[in-house]
Amino acid sequence: MNSGDGFKRASSNGVGTCQRAPGGQDWVMMRDTSLPADTAAAIFFGDDAEPDEEACWRAVLARDRRVDGGFVFGVLSTGIYCRPSCPARRPSRANVRFFANGAAARGAGLRACLRCAPDSLARDETAITRAIAAIRAADEPVPLAVLAQDAGYSAAHFQRLFTRVMGLSPAAYGRALRLERAREALSDPQGARVSDALYDAGYSAPSRFYDAARGRLGMAPSAWTRGGRGVTIRWAVVEVALGSMLVAATDKGICRLAFNETGEDLARRFPEAELVEGGEGFSALLEQVLAAVEVPALAAHVPLDVRGTAFQEAVWQALRRIPPGETRSYAQIAAMVGKPAASRAVGSANGANPVAVLVPCHRVVRSDGSLGGYAYGLEIKRALLERESEFVR
């Protein structure tokens, strides 16, 4: 029997509910980890799958902090229970049982480990939640010392705790939040003037926004508010083995790659931009794109000019890390970006991907191995996967 926040599992000690890992209150930036993504994803497959106790055990062996709060493991030979990341020596698998939380473990007669203090996670989660709320409500950056004092931790300890859970520091989280708010405001054609939107987003001066956005934004902020006015986009529709393909680019990189779309579709997406078909400089970039379609390994070298929410961009980065010839499930991508309960949101981010093939959303499939959906049809998705499988053989 499944629940909305996790799942239930049977064990030798009965049935317990494994809840989703902490950190799901807000988006997090993608971060590297020594644990393969499929291990974390196997524990948090979502509402339509049963958990894998061996995957839980692999997480325990890896001392994976990402799944702290998702379950605890009890050691029958010592009578204690621990969080998955406990630094203590690992017991024999035969002596280990998994429980939904500390209360379930105590009900089985076990006591909390004094070394890893598994029951302190609730306090940690509360501290992170309060800090997120404070950062989001503030008009200006909140000093680390203030956040730490409110949580009852030292500044150094809270910095480590926040960074471990959220994948970025409190200061970096605040900067990313202000940037996203500004981008949303600037994307609204009915919104305020650029300077007003930036002040409302929490920047002390427009120059601070431009500094934060440098290297991340394609169009200038003022162009966003005017539907791309002042931006030149060069484009072409070419025939490839998979059908007709629209390729469009700004002077920074590819901003649109789609199958079975035309220049009229591009005009609806960028109604105020100057659209120029072809061009000598564009031809060289187009050749790179065509080569990447034929040889998937070359896709990483094609410059892109895309934007989305922080979560969407984290998903798109994760997609580009999937090697050609391989696939990942939606749950695995969710685990890669630090939000193991966000499989459906990953599907939405896939659908919002503006650059097919180069950001390989076709490499994401359902947990049962079926293809799932694809914006350009399952035939094209299947063909892309088959071509890539043949390429890597």
pLDDT digits (tens, 9 = 90+) for 315-344: 898 898 888 888 999 988 888 887 777 888
Give the confidence band of 32 by pLDDT, cuts at 50, 70, 90: very low
Give the confidence band of 40 by pLDDT, cuts at 50, 70, 90: very low
199 with 241, same domain? no
Domain presence at residue 124? yes
Cβ-proximal residues to 69 (8 Å cutoff; 6+ apart), any chain: 19, 21, 22, 83, 121, 125
State the sign of the Cα–Cα–Cα–Cα dihedral 163, 167, 169, 171: negative
Domain presence at residue 227? no
Residue 272 has pLDDT above 80, yes or no: yes
C-alpha dist (Å) from residue 131 to 123, 167, 311, 369: 12, 14, 19, 39
Domain end call among 54, 89, 116: 116
Cβ-proximal residues to 57 (8 Å cutoff; 6+ apart), any chain: 93, 96
Query: Could you give the CA distance from residue 313 to residue 130 in angstroms, rounded to a whole number?
Result: 25
Query: Could you give the CA distance from residue 211 to residue 215 in angstroms, rounded to a whole number?
Result: 9
> By C-alpha distance, which of 194, 181, 259 is closest to 221?
194
Domain presence at residue 222? no
Domain presence at residue 353? yes
Domain presence at residue 242? yes
212 with 237, same domain? no
Q: What percent of the chain has pLDDT over 90?
A: 26
Is residue 79 within 8 A of residue 111, CB to CB? The reply is: yes
Domain presence at residue 224? no
SS3 assignment, position 240: strand
* Residue 28 vs residue 310, higher pLDDT: 310
274 with 187, same domain? no
Lowest-confidence region among 40-44, 123-127, 320-324: 40-44
Structural domain count of the chain: 4
Is residue 208 within 8 A of residue 242, CB to CB? The reply is: no
Give the confidence band of 179 by pLDDT, cuts at 50, 70, 90: low
Domain end call among 64, 88, 116: 116
Query: Could you give the CA distance from residue 13 to residue 22 in angstroms, rounded to a whole number?
Result: 25
Q: What is the DSSP string of 63-87?
A: T-GGGBTTBEEEETTTTEEE-TT--
52 with 6, same domain? yes
Query: Could you give the CA distance from residue 127 to residue 71 in angstroms, rounded to a whole number?
Result: 19
8 with 111, same domain? yes
Q: What is the pLDDT of residues 231-243, one digit of tens each?
A: 899 999 999 888 9
Residue 71, φ and ψ in degrees, nearest 5: -170, 170
- What's residue 19's pLDDT? 30
192 with 261, same domain? no
Helix, strand, coil percentages in the chain from 3-state DSSP, rounded to 5: 45, 15, 40
Residue 144, φ and ψ in degrees, nearest 5: -55, -40
155 with 244, same domain? no
Q: Which residues are catalytic?
A: 82, 361
Domain end call among 81, 116, 151: 116
203 with 237, same domain? no
124 with 112, same domain? no
Domain that holds residue 248: 232-301
- What's residue 20's pLDDT? 31
**In the block, which residue shows the tokens 């990402």?**
66
- Which amino acid, 87? P
Is residue 325 within 8 A of residue 388, CB to CB? The reply is: yes
157 with 112, same domain? no
CATH code of 26's domain = 3.40.10.10
Query: Could you give the CA distance from residue 68 to residue 161 in angstroms, rounded to a whole number?
Result: 12
CATH code of 183's domain = 1.10.10.60
Question: Which pairing describes strands 2-3 and 254-259: parallel, antiparallel, or unpaired?
Answer: unpaired
18 with 110, same domain? yes
> By C-alpha distance, which of 196, 186, 248, 249 is closest to 220?
186
pTM of the model: 0.50
> By C-alpha distance, which of 368, 336, 346, 349 is closest to 40?
336
